[in-house]
Amino acid sequence: MSGIRPTGFLHLGNYFGALRNWARMQHEYECFFCVVDWHSLTTHPDTAELKNSVYRVLAENIACGLDPEKATLYVQSDVPQDAELYLYLNMLAYKGELEKTVTFKDKARQHPDNVNAGLLTYPVLQTSDIVIHRAELVPVGKDQEQHLEMARNFVQRFNHRYGHGQTILPEPHAFSYDAGGLVKILSLDGNGKMSKSENQMNTLYLADEDDAIRKKLMKAKTDQGPEAPNSTPPDYIENLFGMMDIVSAPDVAAKFRADYAQSSSGNTVIRYGDLKKQLAEDMVRFIAPIRETANGLLANKDELKRIMKMGGEKARASGQDTIERVRKAVGVNYY
Ligand code: AQP
């Protein structure tokens, strides 16, 4: 189980941190993937753009390879059982630990006039999103690691208090097929992670036109090159190599890495201009078909509605099964 907030256009970080793994997992597991519209209200209270964003996220999910006939694709607010489970879990989450959450502190800093209770309890609703389907694997990017740790704590507390020796809710774990573990794609200026609403000129969106992709990549942060051979690249250079590993041919990516390894001050073998040009062309080839497929899907809202409705029904059935177990365990089943 995993989700994406409908707070804007999806970007390369969403793809490499989440969607790429989702598309592969759907062939190996029973999967639930969700557009988490309630979560977006914590930081985006104005809902004028919400509907469009929900359709867009769904369309981009499918364009990235998700098959609605295979995985359950749905919208969070179509599963009221999620909100009920959130309520029970909130009684087991403490103010002190919630206030220490890195994402809460970041968002509170960014939106000082709207530090609401939903923002504070974001990790609790996220836990509920996951365990409402009793999901164990959660394909997410590195920024979500702490939330998953918190989710395990809340679930352990629930089982301890209400399980009477049984595991009512399984403990969820962050998941990635990537050999290096959870992925973090940096913003192209090297400042923080790529994200939907920050740093738009330094974020590659899956909806970007070819020229925008080229322009943004040509401006990506680089430096003078390494001082000594076989240096470890700084994170903003590794970010470019990492993208190249995924969108470029293996020999091309290997060549630029080798050029970097051979470079030293006075002998700069690596040509960042060439690297960026190559990466830009490979990225255009990668993003263009996703963009075109998503635009095609967005032109057929009825089909997107059918997909959402079908996913909502499946997700509600799964949620109902869990919430009945939860009510019984908590002792709020009177009939
Ligand atoms: N830069 C990233 N690198 C790797 N994975 C990432 N994810 C997000 N950014 C990166 C992963 O994408 C999934 C959905 O996360 P999200 O909906 O929270 O996306 P966001 O881009 O971080 O956007 P926000 O939080 O709505 O908006 P802003 O821009 O305000 O921060 C997750 O699995 C996440 O790990």
Structural domain spans, the chain: 2-184+301-330, 208-294
Q: Is 107 a catalytic residue?
A: yes
Does the annotation mark 70 as catalytic? Answer: no
Mean pLDDT of 55-78: 98
The alpha carbon of 195 and the centre of ligand 1 are apart by a number of angstroms equal to 5
To test the pocket of ligand 1, the residue of 56, 111, 195, 238 to mutate (highest count of ligand atoms within 8 Å of its CB) is 195
> Virtual CA dihedral for 196, 197, 203, 208, nearest 10 degrees?
70
**pLDDT tens digits, 287-321:** 999 999 999 999 999 999 999 999 999 999 999 99
| Stated pTM of the model | 0.94
Q: Is 142 a catalytic residue?
A: no
pLDDT at 216 over 90: yes
- Annotated catalytic residue within 70, 95, 196, 221: 196
Query: Is the pLDDT at 197 greater than 80, yes or no?
Result: no
Instruction: Give the residue from 10, 210, 39, 233 showing the smallest Cα distance to 124.
Output: 39
CATH for 208-294 (3.40.50.300, 1.10.240.10, 3.30.750.24, 2.60.120.10): 1.10.240.10
Supply φ then ψ for residue 116, to 5 degrees: -95, 170
Select which of 193, 255, 277, 314 is catalytic.
193
Quickly name the fold that domain 2-184+301-330 has.
Rossmann fold (3.40.50)
Q: What is the pLDDT of residue 328?
A: 97
Q: Report whether 21 contacts 251 (CB < 8 A).
A: no
pLDDT at 198 over 80: no
One of 51, 70, 105, 107 is an active-site residue; which one? Answer: 107
Candidate of 143, 182, 187 to mutate for ligand 1, largest count of ligand atoms within 8 Å of Cβ: 143
The rounded mean pLDDT for the chain is 96
pLDDT bracket for residue 106 (50, 70, 90): very high
CA distance 307 to 223: 47
Query: Where are any strands of DSSP class E within the chain?
Result: 2-4, 32-35, 72-75, 137-139, 173-175
Q: In angstroms, what CA-CA distances link 108 with 43, 93, 147?
A: 9, 19, 16
Task: Look at residue 199 in the predicted model and tell me its pLDDT.
Answer: 80
Average pLDDT over residues 246-275: 95
Containing H/E element for 326? helix 301-330
| Protein residue whose Cα sits closest to atom 2 of ligand 1 | 13
Q: How much is the pLDDT for 196?
A: 87
